[in-house]
Chains A and B, each alone.
Chain A
Amino acid sequence: MSAAAAKSGPRGRRLLWPVVCYLLLGAVGVTMLLPFAWMVSTSLKAPGYAAEAKPRWLPSEPVTVEIEGRSCRVARLADSPGTRVAVVGYAPGGVEVQVLSPKAHAGERRRVNESDLVFLRRVKLHWENYVTAWRAEGMRVSEAFFGLLHDASAFLVFYLNSIIVSVCVTLGTVFTSSLAAFAFSRMKFPGRDAIFVGYLATLMVPAIVIMLPVYLVLSVLHMTNTYTALIVPAMFSAYGTFLLRQFFMTIPRELEDAAVIDGASPFQIYRHIVLPLSKPALATLTTFVFLHSWNEFLWPLMVVDSLPLKTLPIGLAHFQDAYTTEYHLLMAASVIVMIPVLIVFLIGQRYFVRGIALSGLKG
């Protein structure tokens, strides 16, 4: 639209248009990034300075000195900026301060109005919040992974659980979906289209409708709080089958016919022709399924309530319950949880974006 607008428009408009675009794009971009920046900023603040009456972007805290065994806040006098004083006590009608500098007056005690003081702050980044959050002393895991880990940090356990679950779910989904997609796209058998329409119809079913009976059966079989409960029901994706089928349909049949003449079996065609040609589609599905599985909240929440089996999302929710008001630690933990997803997304972004476009196509 703009290219045409720019060509037809007068000279001033041609120059102005990109500026307007960038301003709008930038404003939205800032809005998107602001909460993330606020998260990182808070995660580096000192305990007790996360929540304040006037929020500060730069993590800072009051400068203090030790006088007679007490910690006193340092300020400068508003009317003489060179004078540093420490507040040593409160008195009726003002505060009592001790002069720190200039040297000539050091040690002198004065009484001033609090409004004459400008309290000094010092920027300090508390990276150790990340260590504190990671260690989460309040929720150590006494035993995990069938006795392999003892007295482990909760987030280590959540990470390993998320990796195990997401990797298994992703491998399982990509494998079963690609097989089924091959059958739906390259083979002719009775009832094929009916079954495929059945698959598509279930995409419309709210996930909770499916989860309730599966949860019931798992809990009756005493199988909640197992890796099986986390992994197996998530391994069969109608969506994945649909996505891969769409892609497999675009592979020319001539390649396959040539292989058939050479005596290739269907599995050989799948393995040596269709899969190698479908790397972008497989990468798309892998990125999709991995991110979805990594972020999945409701299903693990339903089937797991034992700490050693929690994945990152429900582990972070548990952490929030345990550290409700310690926002600097909550934000540090949120950063810890977000980082790997962002890395996977930045790597697989191209495939991800393609996949969305592909799933919107008619077929």
Chain B
Amino acid sequence: MPGWKSDTPTRRRPFLQALPFLLPNLLGFLVFTLLPVLACFALSFTDYQLAPIQHLSQLRERMPFVGAQNFVKLLGWHREAGALVANDPDFWRYLGNTLFLMLGIPISIAGSLFLAILLNQRLRGMTLFRTIYFLPTVSSAVAVCIVWKWVFHQQPNEVGLLNSILMSLGVSSPPDWLGDPAWAKPAFIIMAVWVGVGGYNCVLYLAGLQGIPEEFYEAAALDGAGTWARFRHITWPLLSPTTFFVVTMSIIAGFQGSFLFTAAYLMTGGGPAGATTTLMLYIYNNAISWHQLGYAAAIACVLFVLVFGFTLINWRYGQRLVHYG
């Protein structure tokens, strides 16, 4: 292999040599990631209804092409008694729920930053605290949801942990968290913040804080800058790449809401009155419970476009706010 043994060997390795390394992952990537993404788009233009078939050749006839019908049903409007009505009002409601539940993200991120600053103090026992804060993130989401359902518990003559604490603090009639449509979403936000606040974002912020040279603060202190001024003019700008990353990832994860899917599935079934049904649960219900795979694929595509659009906007405009020091 003459090319291989030249003085810059890594530059000239041919594709064939890389192939055995690449192939297992690349093949899996093509079959289980890229192809499915394309298939999902294709599926969204069909009216596929899941039913057992005997032979693959039946697949074609089970999958009638319906053009943009799914998207018209999903996103379109029609006139009913003089008023405009959405073809699928549920979709808009569940999109609203998804966005509402994302209100937990800024709370969670601010909390993560606050905890990271506390954890970055030169005090003993910080590893212990960090470990404790991280526990909810690594615990099985199913177990966490079952426990929180129990914490939120409220029945005649039975008071859950949270409400008993609220009552001892003087709240005379605490809410029926998971049974009241007005309180179910705040309950989910509280739980999601509890799970996420000490998790990935906090560790990322901690790493970011540890990368800020101590001299910056010493210099600022000599100039008489107070705690807030040091945070505002040193910590916050120098952490902005981390903030950008954290916000981007949190919002992408927020649209998908896999934790909130688990929570809705286990704690409320999407209720009460659909108050906790997110787009993910709606897709799952369409695909698995109602066997409407075509329609489910259409909703999944809309979700994808939302995430993609957000990421593009964020990349285009959000990055302007990032300070690369």
Q: Which of B23-31, B65-73, B79-87, B172-180 lies on the face that meets chain A?
A: B23-31
In the assembled complex, the CB of A239 is this many whole angstroms from the nearest CB of chain B, namely 11
Q: In this complex, what residue of A is CB-closest to B30? A: A236
Q: In this complex, what residue of B is CB-closest to A336? A: B143
Contact flags (1/0) for B230-250 with A, using CB distance below 8 Å?
Answer: 110001000001100110000
Asked whether B283 lies within 8 Å of A208 as measured between CB atoms, the reply is yes
- Complex Cα distance, B10 from A189, in Å, reads 9
In the assembled complex, the CB of B116 is this many whole angstroms from the nearest CB of chain A, namely 11
Q: In this complex, what residue of A is CB-closest to B297? A: A212
Q: In this complex, what residue of A is CB-closest to B308? A: A204
Q: Which residues of A contact B130 (CB under 8 A)?
A: 353
Select which of A8, A188, A338, A349 is within 8 A of B10 by beta carbon: A188
Asked whether B261 lies within 8 Å of A38 as measured between CB atoms, the reply is no
Asked whether B198 lies within 8 Å of A188 as measured between CB atoms, the reply is no
- Complex Cα distance, B227 from A8, in Å, reads 11
Asked whether B203 lies within 8 Å of A220 as measured between CB atoms, the reply is no
Asked whether B258 lies within 8 Å of A1 as measured between CB atoms, the reply is no
- Complex Cα distance, B241 from A92, in Å, reads 74
How many of chain B's residues have a CB under 8 angstroms from any CB in A? 114
- Complex Cα distance, B288 from A294, in Å, reads 22
Contact flags (1/0) for B45-66 with A, using CB distance below 8 Å?
Answer: 0001010110010010000000
Asked whether A208 lies within 8 Å of B140 as measured between CB atoms, the reply is no
Q: Which residues of B contact A346 (CB under 8 A)?
A: 131
Q: In this complex, what residue of A is CB-closest to B199? A: A356
Q: Which residues of B contact A153 (CB under 8 A)?
A: none
Q: Tell whether A28 pairs with B115 under 8 Å between CB atoms, given A189-B18, A331-B150, A337-B142.
A: yes
Asked whether A179 lies within 8 Å of B203 as measured between CB atoms, the reply is no
How many A residues touch the partner, as a band?
35 or more
Q: Tell whether A207 pairs with B133 under 8 Å between CB atoms, given A28-B115, A180-B25.
A: no
Q: Which residues of B contact A208 (CB under 8 A)?
A: 256, 280, 283-284, 300, 303
Q: In this complex, what residue of A is CB-closest to B9? A: A260
Q: Which of A46-54, A73-81, A122-130 lies on the face that meets chain B?
A: A46-54
Chain A interface mostly: helix
A316 at interface by CB-CB < 8 Å: yes
Q: Which residues of B contact A33 (CB under 8 A)?
A: 132, 135
A257 at interface by CB-CB < 8 Å: yes
B268 at interface by CB-CB < 8 Å: no
Q: A189-B18, A205-B37, A317-B142 given. 13 additional CB < 8 A pairs? A: A4-B218, A38-B147, A55-B159, A179-B21, A180-B24, A210-B40, A221-B56, A297-B141, A297-B142, A313-B140, A331-B147, A334-B143, A338-B139
Instruction: Name 14 A/B residue pairs within 8 A (Cβ), A-sorted.
Output: A18-B121, A32-B194, A35-B148, A36-B147, A179-B20, A182-B21, A190-B15, A206-B300, A213-B297, A232-B32, A238-B29, A297-B141, A302-B284, A313-B142
Interface residues of A (CB under 8 A from B): 1-5, 7-8, 17-18, 21-22, 24-25, 28-29, 31-36, 38-39, 42, 51-55, 175-177, 179-180, 182-183, 186-192, 195, 198-199, 202, 204-216, 219-222, 232-233, 235-236, 238, 241, 253, 256-257, 260-261, 266-267, 270, 291, 294-295, 297-298, 301-302, 312-314, 316-317, 320, 327, 330-331, 333-335, 337-338, 341-342, 345-346, 349, 352-353, 356-357, 360, 362
The 8 lowest CB-CB distance pairs between A and B, nearest first, are A236-B28, A180-B25, A213-B39, A357-B207, A4-B217, A183-B21, A334-B143, A51-B158
